[in-house]
Amino acid sequence: MGASLTPDRLAELCRIAAETKPGTNERRVIETALALLDRIERLEADNYNLDSENYELYRRIERLEAKLARQRVALRRLQAAVERRNSQERIEALWYKLSDEKRLLDRIEALEAMLLHLYQDTVVPGTGYCNRCGMTGGHDEWCAMAAVEKLLGIEVKGDGEEEGGASDA
């Protein structure tokens, strides 16, 4: 660009302009040509600046994109690591929770079995006679077997007094 606008050619045009008489058509044509050339030169300079700015901008965008791609890779790795870790922790937490609940359930079952054993040793099957409080088909207020029946969901056939024995206080 600017091959026709070298300083030499501009200087030549200026010299020609200086030689022509002011106010003549020749002078006006040369002045107009010089003004136009000046304007074209400035536009070309602007264009070049824009191009180099665009180039710089493009390079910056490229660098940013490369950086972003690297960060995206790192982020993906991190995310994968976090997910792996999370799921592992979640599985461990679940495992602990489950084993805790299992332990509790086992313990509750053992206690219930023991209570049932105690109950069957205390309340005579069939007759419903309680060796603890001496009542049949029911219990005294203070008899623990009433609570045991409630806890284990044992239905006692009789006059239904076991309910009153347990809830009265």
On whether the CB atoms of residues 13 and 34 are closer than 8 A, the answer is yes
Kindly tell me the number of DSSP H helices and DSSP E strands found in the chain.
Answer: 4, 0
Measured from the CB atom, the residue of 115 and 133 that comes closer to Zn ion is 133
| Residues engaged in binding Zn ion (CB under 5 A) | 130, 132-133, 139, 143, 145
Residue carrying the six token digits 């313990």: 107
Residue carrying the six token digits 């690591």: 81
**Minimum CB–partner distance for residue 140 and Zn ion (Å):** 6
**Minimum CB–partner distance for residue 162 and Zn ion (Å):** 8
Measured from the CB atom, the residue of 37 and 144 that comes closer to Zn ion is 144
**Minimum CB–partner distance for residue 130 and Zn ion (Å):** 3
Token representation of residue 20 = 């022509």
Measured from the CB atom, the residue of 30 and 119 that comes closer to Zn ion is 119
Measured from the CB atom, the residue of 30 and 162 that comes closer to Zn ion is 162
**How many angstroms separate the first and last alpha carbons of the chain?**
109
**Minimum CB–partner distance for residue 110 and Zn ion (Å):** 23
Estimate to the nearest angstrom the gap between the alpha carbon of 150 and the chain centroid: 48
- Amino acid, single-letter form, for residue 71: Q
Q: Which residue is nearest to Zn ion (CB)?
A: 130
